[in-house]
Structure 1
Amino acid sequence: MTSQDPYQLVAKWNVPVGTEVHNVILEHNISTGNKLLRVDGTVIVKQNSILTRVGDHEFPISNLKALLSIKCTDRGDWVHTLSINGMTFKDYKNGYYQNFTTWKPEIAGREFFITFDKHRSEVFVDGGNIRTTRRFVECGTSTIFHLHRAFCEIIEQGVGGRTAMTQKLSVDNTPVPVFKDKEDGVFIVKPTGAR
C-alpha cells in the first residue's frame, strides 16, 4: 500500500467473550492519520485526520469495555495496544482460559469453534449451545455430541489428585489440540525503511 491509500491493515485481534469470538480489525494509515476500527465487520471508529494519529478509543465488545491505545515511541514506532475491562489483553485471555477450554477442529471441510464451559460443563459450537450426552467413564466424565455426522467426545478428568480438571476433545477418535490464542494484544508498526 502507498501513503495515498486511506487505510492500511495494522492489527487484528480475536477476542473470546463467553462462548463466542469477536473479531477486531484496525486499519491505520500512519502518514495521514486515517483510522478505521471494526468489530465483527461493523465500523466502530472512523477518523480521517492527521491530528488524531495517537490517542485512545473506547468501544464495546459484547458486554465488555475495550480500549485501543495508539502511541508513537521516540524511535518512531507506532504501538497499538488493546485492553479489555481495564486488563491487558493477555491477562484478560488468561482469565478467560481459566473458565473455558476451546478447540478449532475442521469437520466436513469447515472450521468450528468449540467451547467447553468448565463451570457448567456445557458445550457450545460457534456460540450456540448444543445437545450432549454425558456419562461417567473410568478416567472421569465423557461428553458426547455430533457435528456433521462426526462423533465428538470431550473427556474431562482430574489432574494428579487435585481439584483441577483437564478437557480433551477427539473427533472421530482423533485428538484435537486445545486452541489458545497466544496474541498479547500489542502490535508495533515500524516506520518505513526502519529495521
Structure 2
Amino acid sequence: MSNLLRIHMKLLPKFHIKSPNICFFRFNICLNHKKNTLSLISVRCLTSNQKSYQKYKSNHSLAERQNASQNEVTIGAKVKQTTQDITYFGVILLGVSVTAIILWAIFRELFSSVSPSVLYSNALKLCKSDVRVVEAIGDPIKGFGEMSSRGRRRHVSSLEYEKDGQQVIRVKFYLKGSKTSGTVHLEAFKRSSKSKYRYLFVELDNSRHVIVLEDNRRLEDNVKLDPMSDLVAVWDVPLCDRVHRIEFEHGTTTGKRVLKVDGQEIVRREWMFKLVGSEAFEIKGEEGQVYAKCEILINASTGFTYEYSMVVNGKQLKKFKEKQSKVMSTWIVEIGDQMWRIALEKETLDIWVNGVKAETNHEFADEGTEMHFLIESQHKACIKTISSGNKKEGIVYSLIVNDKEITN
C-alpha cells in the first residue's frame, strides 16, 4: 500500500503539464486510500506568474476599449473632415465665380467698343480734335467725371435704358480748358458693332451754347415719338382770375419740351440739344391780357437727373404764393351743384368770379366799406372790409352770399 502510494506520489508531479505559452495546466487529483484509486477533480490553467497574467488581462481589456474608442473617433473625424472639405470646396468655387465675374466686367469695360470708359475716351479725343471745341473752351482740354463730396474726380456717369427693343447707353462727363468749362452729352447703342453715336455734343457752361459733333437721331430707321408721357412737373399758380395749372414735359433723351397751361399746349419742341436751360412763357386771360410772366428753370442734378423750378413775376413760386396770400383773398362758394371761386385783389379792390371780373358797387358802412356784386346774375354777394384794430392783422375781409357769411 505504501509502495503504491509512493508510486502515485512520484507520479503526481508528472501530471503538471507545462504549456509552451505563458501559462500551464494544473490537474487536481484525489487519492482514495481504501480503494487505492486516483480521481481527477479539476483542471486549471495558470500562468507562470499570476500577477503577470492579471496585468496581461488588464492591458488586453484596455487595448480593446481603446480600439473601440478609436473606431468611434475615426467615424466622427471622417464626418467632420468631409464637412470641412465640402465647405472649403464651396468657398473655393464661390471665389472662382466672383473672380470670373470681376474679370469679365473688367474685360467688358476695357475691350467693349461701347463701354462707358471706351465711349468716354473716344469722345474726349473727338472733343480735343474739334476746332470749335478747342476755340470755345481753350487748349489744353482735360476731361473728368463727376465730382465727389471730397473734391475728387470720380468715374464718368453712365445710364442704360431700352429704346425700340435696343439697349442704349448714355454717358456724361465734363471738360475744362484754359477759357471755360463744358459738359459732354452722348448716347450710343450698346450692341452696335461700331462706336457710332446717336448724338454727341458739348454744352458750354458760361453761355449755354451747344456745339454739335454728331447727331444721328433723325437718321434712325422707324423713328417714332414716344407715346408715353414725359411729364416731370406740375405747378398751380394762384392768380386773380383763377388757379392756373402748369404742366411741363421734358424728354431727357431727345430734349423734347412740351408746356401746357390749363390743359392747352403753348410750347412744343421735339428736338433740343440743350437738356438744361429755361423756358419762358406768359399766362394770359381770355382777352389776351397778361396776368403773369413765368419761366421754368431746368438744372442738372447728380448723374442724369434734373431739377425743375418755376419763377412767376421774378419770384420763386413759393415766394410768389406767399405774396399772393397777402395781396389777395379767395373764397370757394358752392351754390347748387356748382363751385364758384371768388377772389379779391386787395390793392385794386377788383373782384373776380370764376376768372371773370365782376361789376361792383362800393358803399360806405358804419364799420368800413361794402362791395356788392352778383354771382351768376341772380345771387347777391357782398365783401365787407372791417378794421381789426390790430396792426398785424390789418383789415379783415368777409364774404356774404345770399345773406350767409362764407369762410375762406
Write out aligned runs for 1:118-137 (5 A). 118-137=346-365
1: distance between equivalents of 2:370 and 2:313?
Answer: 34
- Cα separation, 2, equivalents of 1:104 and 1:32: 42
Contact 2:331 2:406 in 1 (8 A): no
TM-score (norm 1): 0.70
Query: Which one of 112, 125, 130 corresponds to residue 340 of structure 2?
Result: 112
- Which residue of 2 is the match for residue 28 of structure 1? 250
Alpha-carbon displacement from aligned partner over 1:69-106 (angstroms, at most 9, x marks no partner): 12232165432101023221122233333332222323
Deviation at 1:12, TM superposition (A): 2.4
Which structure is larger by alpha-carbon Rg, 1 or 2?
2
Counterparts of 1:1-195 in structure 2, within 5 Å, are 4-30=226-252, 33-49=255-271, 51-62=273-284, 63=290, 64-74=292-302, 77-148=305-376, 149-162=378-391, 164-172=394-402, 173-177=404-408
Deviations 1:134-156 (A, max 9, x none): 44444432333332443423221
2:323 aligned counterpart, secondary structure? helix
- CA offsets 1:43-82 (integer angstroms, 9 cap, x no match): 3322334744332112223334321012232165432101
Unaligned stretches of 5+ in structure 2?
Answer: 1-162, 164-225, 285-289
What is the identity, as a one-letter code, of the residue corresponding to 1:176?
Answer: T
Mapped to 2, the partners of 1:78 and 1:169 lie a distance apart of 43
CA contact (8 A) 1:55 1:71 kept: yes
Q: Name the SS of the counterpart of 1:119 in structure 2.
A: coil
CA contact (8 A) 1:7 1:35 kept: no
Determine if contact 1:6/1:32 at 8 Å carries over to the other structure.
no
Whole-Å Cα distance in 2 between the matches of residues 122 and 34 of structure 1? 40
Amino acid at match of 2:396: T
The change in CA–CA distance for 1:110 and 1:76 in structure 2 (over 3 A counts) is: farther
4+ residue runs over 6 A deviation: none
Deviations 1:145-184 (A, max 9, x none): 332443423221112243921212233414231xxxxxxx
Q: Percent identity?
A: 26
CA distance in 2, matches of 1:77, 1:155: 50
**Partner of 2:324: helix, strand, or coil?**
helix
Whichever structure has more helix as a proportion of its residues is: 2
Contact 1:7 1:36 (8 Å CA) reproduced: no
CA contact under 8 A between 2:240 and 2:344: conserved in structure 1?
no
Tell me which of the two structures has the higher relative contact order, counting C-alpha pairs closer than 8 angstroms and 6 or more residues apart. 1
Change in 2 beyond 3 A, CA 1:88/1:138 = same
More strand by proportion, 1 or 2?
1
Separation in structure 1 between the aligned mates of residue 361 and residue 266 of structure 2, nearest angstrom:
41
Moved more, 122-131 or 44-53: 44-53
| TM-score between both structures, scaled by the size of structure 2 | 0.37
Q: Given the superposition, is the C-alpha separation of residues 174 and 84 from structure 1 closer, same or farther in structure 2, using an over 3 Å criterion?
A: same
- Find the residue that maps to 2:326 and give its secondary structure: helix
8 Å contact from structure 2 (residues 353, 375) kept in 1: no
Secondary structure class of the residue paired with 2:229: coil
Contact 1:69 1:82 in 2 (8 A): yes
Structure 1 unaligned blocks of 5 or more = 178-195
